[in-house]
Structures are given as C-alpha cells and as structure tokens.
Amino acid sequence: MNAGRTGTAHLVFMAFGGLVLLFIIAPLAGIFINLTPGDLVSTAREHEVSASIWLTLAASMGATALFAILAIPFAWILARREFRFKQLVNGIVDLPIVIPHSAAGIALIGVLSPDSFVGSAAERIGIRFVGGVAGIMAAMAFVSVPFLVNAARDGFAAVPVQLEKAALNLGASPLRVFLTISVPAARRSILSGLVLMWARGMSEFGAVIVIAYHPMITPVLLYERFGAFGLRYARPVTALFIAICLLFFFALRVMAGRRRDAQG
C-alpha cells in the first residue's frame, strides 16, 4: 500500500511469509496429490486403521476431559493468587514443552510401571498403564496439559476481578462464583486451551510409543507402516488422519466462533 522504501520492505516480508506458508502447505498437499478417493475409502475400511484413529481421538479426548477438571481450577489459582515460588510453579507447568517427548515417556514409565507405587496400585484396581489405554492417555496428557493450563490462566487473568467480587458481594460462594462467573467469562480461552490440548495429545508420538506400542494409536501406526513397508503404504493412512484432524479442528473453530457471535 505504501509507496517508496517501506513498500519494498513490506513486499519482501510478504514474500518471506509466502515461503513459510508454502513450507507448511506443500508437504501436506503432496500427501493428497498422488491419492485417489478410492485409496482413502479402502484405507478407512481397514479395521486396523479405523480402530487406531478412534483410539487416538478418544484417548486424547479422555485425557483432556480428565485433566480439565484438575487444570482449570489450578489455572484460576495461578491467575488470581500471589504466592511464593509462583514463577517456579509456572516454569514447572511449561517443562513438558521443552523436554524431548521420548524422554518424557521414559520418565513416565518410571512412575507408572507395575513395579512402581502408582503403577502397582493402579494394577490392583484394574488399570494398566504400560501397554494400556490409560498409559496412552497419561503420555498424551503429560505433553499437552501445559497448553490448557496456560490458555486458561491467561483467560482468567483477563476477566475483571470486580466481576468475581461483585458475585461474592451478592452472597455467592467462591465455588459458585468460579463456576458461574469466572469459567463462563473466560470460556473462549478455556475452549481454545481444550482444543489445543486435545489436538496436541492426538499428534503425540514420542511419549506414547515408549509407554504403549500397543494398542496402536495412529501416529505409531504410521511409523510402523512407513518403517516396515515404506512411503507408498504409509501415505493413505497419513492423508486420512490429517484430513480427520483438520476436520475436527475446523469444526471446533467454527463452533467457538459461532458461540462468540451469539454472546455479542
């Protein structure tokens, strides 16, 4: 829009942006280009594939739902209360983002294996972490829960504290204030945190493969097919999984957007 030197600079920036976008889009598009709809349908019909996709979606959703109960109130505390070592606590929340995920998986096995205290206690009530769905969920939650905590914390921090004070002044209990004022007022951030956590959990590979090779989630299935049979064989499953991820992501975005509009 601007003439002269700023115009030239902005053109260069836009060209850079185009390269970055191309870098993201090209490999994804490449997956779909050499594929016929028939390939996709026949792949989707394979029991191994559909089972793994359902497992991946459900395990990540379950992990997100379970941890939401713990993480959302915790995020409120982080947003509202001042306490010693708060920065340290915030740092701990971010740890899973910075450590390699295979390392995270190995660390998790340490506390969840049947020889450990937690693992053996869980085994007694019939929950198996290593090689079980519970382990997959634990690994997914470990690497993805920071996204929920951070998004919810920022959301709560943006809610005017006076709304909560006004509700208390009207005689509501702190729990009622949290459920009827804080959470609804921060719902956009919380919702986007939930979507992020779910999406991040679904795409986890490193931590899950250490804890549970079987039952097989889709990222592990892709890896196995690629390793054993090569690119041609892995490609249709990859395309299908990417398509499903995008579909859900897009649908949730639209839903969140619609609710926002309705709220004015």
Picking from 109, 96, 106, 101, the residue whose alpha carbon sits closest to that of residue 145 is 96
- Nearest to other proteins of 152, 240 (CB atom): 152
Q: Retrieve residue 89's tokens.
A: 């606590």
Alpha-carbon span 147 to 120, nearest angstrom:
30
CB of residue 181 to other proteins, shortest distance in Å: 6
The verdict on 264 binding other proteins (CB under 8 A) reads yes
Question: What are the Cα distances from residue 41, in Å, to 38, 45, 50?
Answer: 5, 6, 11
| Nearest by Cα to 155 from 196, 180, 186, 195 | 186
CB of 50 to other proteins, least distance (A): 39
For the CB of residue 179, give the shortest distance to other proteins in the complex, in Å.
11
Q: What H or E segment, with its residue span, contains residue 216? A: none
Question: Which residue's CB is nearer to other proteins, number 178 or number 241?
Answer: 178
Q: Which is nearer to other proteins, 163 or 256 (CB)?
A: 163
Of the pair 122, 186, the CB lying nearest other proteins is at 186
CA distances to 111, 131, 198, 224 from 119, in Å: 7, 12, 24, 27
- The residue (of 128 and 187) whose beta carbon lies closer to other proteins is 187
For position 2 contacting other proteins by CB under 8 A, the verdict is no
Instruction: Kindly identify the residues of this chain, within the stretch 179-218, that bind other proteins according to CB under 8 A.
Output: 180-181, 184-185, 187
For other proteins, give the closer residue by CB, 227 or 264: 264
* Burial of 7 (C-beta count, 10 Å sphere; 0-12/13-18/19+): exposed
82 counts as binding other proteins under rule CB under 8 A: no
Residues from 163 through 182 that contact other proteins (CB under 8 A)? 163, 165-173, 176, 180-181
Q: How far is the CB of 84 from other proteins (least distance, A)?
A: 18
Residue 129, helix vs strand vs coil: coil
**In the structure encoding, which two tokens stand for residue 38, read together?**
């028939």
Residue numbers 24-43 binding other proteins by CB under 8 A: none
Angle at 190 between CA 189 and CA 193, to 5 degrees: 85
Distances (CA, A) of 137 to 34, 51, 95, 229: 34, 16, 18, 28
The one-letter amino acid code at 46 reads E
- Nearest approach in angstroms of CB 197 to other proteins is 23
Query: In whole angstroms, how close is the CB of 248 to other proteins at the nearest point?
Result: 26
Return residues touching other proteins (CB under 8 A): 160, 162-163, 165-173, 176, 180-181, 184-185, 187, 263-264
